[in-house]
Structure 1
Amino acid sequence: MRMELLLVFTAVVCAAGKPLSKAAERNKLLLISFDGFRWDYDQDVDTPHLDQLVEDGVKAKYVTPPMLTMTSPSHFTTITGRWVEDHEVVHNMMFNAKTNLKVTHKKTLIRSEWWDNGVLPLWITAQNQGLKTASFYYPGGAANYSGQAVNRVLVTEAGHPDDNETEWRQNIDKVMSWFSDEDFDLVTLYYGEPDNVGHAKGPDHPDRKKIIQQIDRTIGYLREAINLHNLNDSLNVIITSDHGMTTVKKRPQVDEIILNKYLNLLKLTSFEILDYGGFGILTPRPGMEQEVFDALSKAPNLTVYKKDKLPESFHLAKSKRLPPIVVVADLGFNLNSRFIVYVNKGDHGYHSGEMDMKAIFRAFGPDFKQNFVSEPFDSIHVYPLMCKLLQIEPAPHNGSLAVTENLLLHSSGSQRTQLSVALLLSMLIFMFTVLL
């Protein structure tokens, strides 16, 4: 009898030690982006649900977005794990420097030719490995990639309000039903706040604090919805952002930058996007690149670069799309081309090393540690983390799982699986001891 029990015990232990199939191990993943959520926005506001996430999950002190600290370039870095010079989404606006084409941000979201540059985003990589994915307003989700589309896509319409709290909750309900009723594996969900409030009112305005409280309530609602749909043990959630926000320095406190004071733009350049916050691009007319560079070098409160001389840390110099001249304003200064047209009281697009440009990172779910605070990391490292959570082979990327793997409870399998195995072993040990 003892020998038989020993054989049974040994067989069960060996079986328990073997990994389950990937399909059995794999949990679902929800990536939520709150546009323009600066890393410290929750520090001067009462945010009980965000605070609870720190206890129930993981938090990075902050995340460093790529250069460029703009919505589309940064979001695409997160979903591809590639630097901007590799994925080539080099601006919020689709443009063509040769034809002078410029397409507004919202219209650019549905132009596949701007996004499809040979780099595959996570949705497509996951779908190619048998997973089911969806994009809910997330930048890049509406494009086709070498003829492949995301399984389900919702695109926000131009002019649609971004701050309707009732709609925010309805969006969460819809996403939860995708997971629980239709068995989606990956959903990316985008919210346009607090970016809009930050631009219109500035990061120090009371309305910014109100929208953070609204976000906090929404996170509370999200957790209730996860519980209601019985997804607590099978859904991992990452909450992050694309960039931060800073206060724009305006007259009469400072002299605003008007670039036409320092060079004749019409005479010396053939293409420009300059009236767009802290980041500007120009194409000099033939033979005039050095003259343009020298003239802009005399302008205050900015740094001008020739594209091929951009710092390696920018990861922009290899881009084929960027024009030859790149201008980065000092923190808080906005670029004006010929006269002051800029009305924003807050903005981004500045150097990603500036603390005001840093973004948030929170995560919770069965595969994440609890009450764990991580050191800061670059946003490119979120991609391999998501691939690990989904148990898929990543496409080529610039990130490293070694940077973010310490956020995970374990290196393989799910928390639910490990707890089940531990419980089973404990019961068998107890039975074995008693019977013997």
Structure 2
Amino acid sequence: MKMRLELFLVLTAVISAAGKPLSKAAAGNKLLLISFDGFRWDYDQDVDTPNLDQLAVDGVKAKYITPPMLTMTSPSHFTTITGRWVEDHEVVHNMMFNTKTNLKVPHKQTLTRSEWWDNGVLPLWITAQNQGLKTASFHFPGGGANYSGQAVNRVKVEAFNPDDNETEWQQNIDTVMNWFSKEDFNLVTLYYGEPDRVGHAKGPDHPDRKTIIRQIDRTIGYLREAIDLHNLTDSLNVIITSDHGMTTIKKRPQVDEIILNKYLNLIKLASFEILDYGGFGILTPRPGREQEVFEALSNAPNLTVYKKNQIPESFHLAKSERLPPIVVVADLGFNLNSRFIVYVNKGDHGFHNGEMDMKTIFRAFGPAFRRNFLSEPFDSVHIYPLMCKLLHIDPAPHNGSLSVTEEMLLLHGGGSRRASVSVTLMLLMMLMFAAL
């Protein structure tokens, strides 16, 4: 009888432990989010990338992900870090602008202008900090701003130096690993400006693009070695993604490039415009001229013009208060020129996010992720709730859904798994009692 009682107590303790969720420490709540700007979904398919290939075996790979409209760096990154559509977070362009004063601030100067980023939507850094976590941003768009007076705990803002220094890339990883291992940061976002830069300068089909993809692959190999070196293998989850893809720009003599001033007098009809920025343009007509501007642009080839209140709901742009009344989206590969051709980019983005050339990558690995798991495509807005789950925090209001990504996680069916363990142990206990 005594032996049966002792056995019962031991098995009851095991069952009780099996039924409890993993603690934060056991599950690991450190997260590194890495973005390689302009990494098109298929860039690793024509290049030897052993480290990226190994990630697909050791973790999760999505067939591709769809960025938001707009397929630009700042709007897309802010959707990832907030889980909100562009019409909600209001970072509607890479450039900060003011339609009333005609202010236009270049992209890298915009990175520290809080008035552009702080529109009432809290990014993940701040939400995590408000729940007791330590966060950092290394060159990640939006990290250099204040949100209702709150700043990210540790920030490095992207400088104006070249984007492709491999030694510097590795040093950045060393810095981030020290933040995790020596200073106990929970969330770090790390941004690299490639392969976007080479995609713009040389085009996505140029050999130099393949060279930079090999460099990115070596950097991922260096990252994995650094994770092991800093004893972070059992606590650090890593997500690798991007903001948009890239496409080859069509130029003369193959095509007639779009010059919008041929179809309307911009000085006469527009009070504000940004129409020389890849495949996406915005315009404020002068008072009473909106219909005239709309009809004139509707006659231009290789583009679609929208009145803001008639933008398709799938764009998630129509509710924006910041966007001007007229939005122009060029057909894939046709860049917008306002008055005369000064466009030098061989590749660009900003086009419709339904185009495959605008799709981008998703990889993930670490203690929370399944191995050798291929995910169906999904929208980047769904990365946010996944990150909150990994950090064990309550998300801010967002437009994503954890149901889209939870199958990537080892414990996505945690409740049923624990129940299964409990049932198995209970049956084992019954069998052992019967044998005694």
Q: Report the TM range for the smaller structure's normalisation.
A: over 0.9
| TM-superposed deviation, 1:10 | 1.3
Q: Report deviation, 1:11.
A: 2.0
**Alpha-carbon separation, structure 1, partners of 2:22 and 2:274:** 53
**Among candidates 43, 46, 66, match of residue 45 of structure 2:** 43
1:2-401 → structure 2 map (5 Å cutoff):
2-158=4-160, 160-401=161-402
Contact 2:28 2:367 in 1 (8 A): no
Amino acid at match of 2:53: D
> What 5-or-longer segments of structure 1 have no aligned partner?
none
CA contact (8 A) 2:279 2:331 kept: yes
- Residues of 2 paired with 1:412 and 1:101: CA distance? 51
- Determine if contact 1:304/1:327 at 8 Å carries over to the other structure: yes
How big is each residue's C-alpha offset from its partner over 1:240-266, in whole Å with a ceiling of 9 and x where there is no partner? Answer: 000000000011111000000000000
Contact 2:27-2:235 within 8 A present in 1 as well: no
Question: Contact conserved, 2:273 with 2:283, CA < 8 A, in 1?
Answer: yes
Give yes or no for contact 2:66–2:377 (8 Å, CA) kept in 1: yes
**Deviation, structure 1 residue 301:** 0.4
> Aligned equivalents of 2:207 and 2:42: distance in 1?
15
Structure 2 distance, partners of 1:55, 1:125, is 32
1:354-407 Cα offsets, whole Å, 9 max, x none, are 000000000000111111111100000000000011111000000000001111
- Alpha-carbon distance change, 21 to 52 in structure 1, aligned in 2, over 3 angstroms: closer
Moved more, 15-24 or 192-201: 15-24
Counterpart-to-counterpart distance in 2, 1:373 and 1:24: 26
Question: Which secondary structure does the structure 2 equivalent of 1:175 belong to?
Answer: helix
Q: CA deviation at 1:3?
A: 1.6
Shift of 1:268: 0.3
- State the distance in 2 between where 1:283 and 1:111 align: 23
Question: What residue identity is the alignment partner of 2:298?
Answer: S
> 1:9 Cα shift?
2.5
Q: Number of residues paired by the alignment?
A: 425
Quote the Cα distance in structure 2 between the aligned partners of 1:63 and 1:154.
Answer: 27
One-letter code of the match for 1:14?
S
Deviating beyond 4 angstroms after TM superposition, the runs of 4 or more aligned structure 1 residues are none
Secondary structure at the aligned position of 2:405 is classed as: helix
Distance 2:335 2:22 in 1: 55
Alpha-carbon distance between aligned partners in 1 of 2:229 and 2:119, rounded to the nearest angstrom: 40
Shift of 1:13: 2.5
Q: Is the 8 A contact 2:276 2:338 kept in 1?
A: yes
1:26, 1:391 within 8 Å by CA — same for their partners in 2? no
Q: Amino acid of the residue matched to residue 362 of structure 1?
A: R
Cα distance, 1:20 vs structure 2:
4.0
Q: Distance in 2 between matches of 1:373 and 1:75?
A: 23
Report SS of the residue matched to 1:149. Answer: coil
Q: Is the 8 A contact 1:368 1:409 kept in 2?
A: yes
Please report how far the alpha carbon of residue 410 of structure 1 lies from its aligned counterpart in structure 2 after TM superposition.
1.2
Task: Say if 2:411 is the partner of 1:410.
Answer: yes
- Secondary structure in 2 matching 1:271: strand
Contact 2:140–2:158 (Cα < 8 Å) also in 1 = no
Paired with 1:98 and 1:388, the residues of 2 have a C-alpha distance of: 42
Q: CA 1:155/1:363 → structure 2, altered by over 3 Å: closer, same or farther?
A: same
Asked if structure 2 preserves the Cα contact closer than 8 Å seen for 1:269 and 1:284, the reply is yes
Deviations 1:139-160 (A, max 9, x none): 00000000000000001222x1
Q: 2:223 aligns to what SS in structure 1?
A: helix
Identity of aligned residues (%): 84
Cα distance, 1:24 vs. partner?
4.5
1:166 partner letter: T
CA distance in structure 2 between the aligned counterparts of 1:24 and 1:412, rounded to whole angstroms: 17
Alpha-carbon separation, structure 2, partners of 1:9 and 1:277: 65
RMSD after superposition:
2.0
d(CA) in 2 for partners of 1:207, 1:21: 46
CA distance, structure 2, for counterparts of residue 108 and residue 372 of structure 1: 38
Paired with 2:6 and 2:372, the residues of 1 have a C-alpha distance of: 44
Distance 1:170 1:16 in 2: 42
Tell me the distance in 1 between the aligned counterparts of 2:327 and 2:97. Answer: 15
Q: Distance in 1 between matches of 2:87 and 2:402?
A: 21
In 2, the alpha carbon distance for the partners of 1:15 and 1:192 equals: 46
1:5 CA displacement: 2.7
